[in-house]
Amino acid sequence: MKRFLSIILLLGVGVAAGISIDRYLSAPPGESAMEHAVKHQDPDYICPMHSEIVSHEEGSCPICGMDLVPIKPAMISSDDDDAEHPVISVSSTVINNLGVRVAQVERSTLVRQVETPGYVQSMRKERHSRVSSPAKGKVIKFHFKAGQWIKTGDALVDIALDELVLLQEKHLELLLEETSAAGAMTDNPEMSELPDDELEPDTKLNTEVEADEDALTENPDAVASGVVSDAVVDLEEADKKQAAKKKMTSKDTAYLMQRAGMTEKQIKHLEETGETSSVITLYASHEGMPLDQHAKEGDEVKANGLLFTLGGLMRVTVLANAFQRDAGSIQAGQEVDIFIPGEGSEPIKGSVLQGAVSINNTSQNIGVKLVFSSPISKVKSGMYLTGRIYARTRENALSLPREAVIYTGKESRVVEALGKGRFKPVVVKTGITTHDRVEILEGLEEGDTIVVSSQFLLDSESNLQSSYQRMTAVE
């Protein structure tokens, strides 16, 4: 019996010794138990292009062949439970190396811009006027050169009028008489202004504007501001008729001087200093180019004598194309910037004449009519150009810089800076987009800090961390 127990005991010892020897022989040479346990911890290397390729040792990726890079928890780590877009922590050194810049989510007024290429469909003259001498005189100086574009209010020509000095002296004489009479009178009644209908027979048009002829004739403010005079004043004849009807006053002579081309400032200077001058300056009532010049400096001109015509301003209609999705945003009257190729970056202001006038069955684009004014030298019929329509306007909209948004196939994201080197990708819903900002409808609040530079790298790192977390969960 004792012998049998001894045999069983020896067999048990032998089996235990065999198992121990097998485990020792199966372990890699030189590997301790601690070293073997380390191998079952988190991996130390990862492929920068394929996050699913991880390893505990240096090597290369079997897919792309790139060297595996160390995972540095001290430099970049994840500390968030969001498996889809985890928060990552980045050291200040990495932030500086990446050149991370941030911006605040703010409220602002956004105007949606629609780019519309098109071509010139039609052109017609917009304004064309004749510039004439208001009375007999002599051309002193032209303030423009051949082919020069004139803007509204620019000086055109200086003319010395033969009878203007006489009228100015008459005005000073009447003004002195009225001042003396007012000082002698105890009661100074106001003198009534001469009715306009008594002066109208003595005036004629010297500027014939095709579009706004009646408006210019009935607008004394335009004459008083020094715009091209639209009346021919026969000073001697007017003086005789006025004297025959009733005694002329200083208001009458001031009115005649304005009709002759003098400004209120010049009349005031005459009254204060007593200095007379026969020279008046005619000013442009609208944009244009001097054409068909009939006189030169030094020439004698008659009353209503044609000096030149002011024209060359064209009203241009453009048929432009826009995407069908923009049809609801484009309406008549909206402002448009017109860009003409070869004319630099300065746009020409225009407006939408009609929205969605047609639709192309092939491209599904809509036709939009734009209109603007331009010198004839800049635009030709059939010319291609580009219009930028300022469509919908959103007041007090939550927005951020356009470059901060990361657009993917299924969503739009931004990287929010949480502070202390922590960053988190956030899914947002965007609204209208301008040339530099994007409206945020959901996902952010006013005052949030968003990364606007290097956000793609931070978003990619968050995706790597997300993939690694999913892989670890599977294991």
What pLDDT is recorded for position 210? 40
Whether 236 shows a pLDDT value over 60: the answer reads no
Query: Within a domain: residue 50?
Result: yes
Domain range for 45 is 2-70
Environment class of residue 232 by beta-carbon count within 10 Å: exposed (0-12), middle (13-18) or buried (19+)?
A: buried
Q: Judge if 349 and 400 occupy the same domain.
A: no
What distance in Å separates the CA atoms of residue 196 and residue 109, rounded to the nearest whole number? 50
Residue where a domain stops, chosen among 248, 277, 304: 304
What pLDDT is recorded for position 187? 53
**Top-confidence residue, 27 or 92:** 92
Token pair for residue 201? 């027979």
What pLDDT is recorded for position 441? 92
Q: Judge if 221 and 369 occupy the same domain.
A: no
Q: Judge if 390 and 400 occupy the same domain.
A: no
- Mean pLDDT, to the nearest integer, of 335-354? 87
CATH for 116: 2.40.30.170
What pLDDT is recorded for position 467? 62
What pLDDT is recorded for position 318? 94
CATH for 425: 2.40.420.20
Query: Within a domain: residue 129?
Result: no
Confidence of residue 349 (pLDDT cuts 50, 70, 90): very high
What distance in Å separates the CA atoms of residue 359 and residue 363, rounded to the nearest whole number? 8
**Top-confidence residue, 231 or 137:** 137
Query: Within a domain: residue 29?
Result: yes
Q: Judge if 117 and 105 occupy the same domain.
A: no
Q: Judge if 100 and 202 occupy the same domain.
A: no
- Mean pLDDT, to the nearest integer, of 205-233? 40
Distances, alpha carbon 265 to alpha carbons 155, 156, 224, 404, in Å: 15, 18, 9, 56
Distances, alpha carbon 45 to alpha carbons 31, 148, 346, 406, in Å: 20, 72, 55, 28
Token pair for residue 174? 């009447």
Helices 250-259 & 264-273, crossing angle to 10 degrees?
Answer: 130
Return the percentage of the chain with pLDDT > 70, whole number. Answer: 71
Whether 194 shows a pLDDT value over 60: the answer reads no
Query: Within a domain: residue 315?
Result: yes
- The amino acid that residue 75 corresponds to is M
Query: Within a domain: residue 375?
Result: yes
Q: Judge if 149 and 298 occupy the same domain.
A: yes
What pLDDT is recorded for position 107? 92
What pLDDT is recorded for position 12? 66
Residue where a domain stops, chosen among 278, 304, 330: 304
Q: Judge if 453 and 348 occupy the same domain.
A: no
- Mean pLDDT, to the nearest integer, of 152-156? 88
Angle (CA) 366-371-375 rounded to 5° is: 140
Confidence of residue 85 (pLDDT cuts 50, 70, 90): confident
What pLDDT is recorded for position 350? 93
What distance in Å separates the CA atoms of residue 56 and residue 384, rounded to the nearest whole number? 63
What pLDDT is recorded for position 213? 39
Return the percentage of the chain with pLDDT > 90, whole number. Answer: 10
Q: Judge if 252 and 379 occupy the same domain.
A: no
What pLDDT is recorded for position 230? 42
Query: Within a domain: residue 282?
Result: yes
What pLDDT is recorded for position 252? 87
What distance in Å separates the CA atoms of residue 387 and residue 116, rounded to the nearest whole number? 5
What pLDDT is recorded for position 315? 92
Whether 225 shows a pLDDT value over 80: the answer reads no
Q: Judge if 23 and 156 occupy the same domain.
A: no
Q: Judge if 48 and 91 occupy the same domain.
A: no
Query: Within a domain: residue 66?
Result: yes
**Looking at the 3D structure of the chain, how many domains does it have?**
4
- Mean pLDDT, to the nearest integer, of 279-283? 87
The string of pLDDT tens digits covering residues 9-49 is 666 666 666 655 555 445 455 544 444 444 555 567 888 78
Residue tagged 């439970």 (tokens): 81
Q: Judge if 439 and 413 occupy the same domain.
A: yes
Query: Within a domain: residue 56?
Result: yes
Whether 294 shows a pLDDT value over 90: the answer reads no
| Least confident residue range of 133-147, 281-295, 453-467 | 453-467
Whether 120 shows a pLDDT value over 90: the answer reads yes
Whether 223 shows a pLDDT value over 50: the answer reads no
Q: Are 290 and 144 in contact (CB under 8 A)?
A: yes
Residue where a domain stops, chosen among 364, 394, 424: 394
Confidence of residue 232 (pLDDT cuts 50, 70, 90): very low
Q: Judge if 27 and 93 occupy the same domain.
A: no
Confidence of residue 240 (pLDDT cuts 50, 70, 90): low
**Top-confidence residue, 161 or 71:** 161
What pLDDT is recorded for position 72? 58
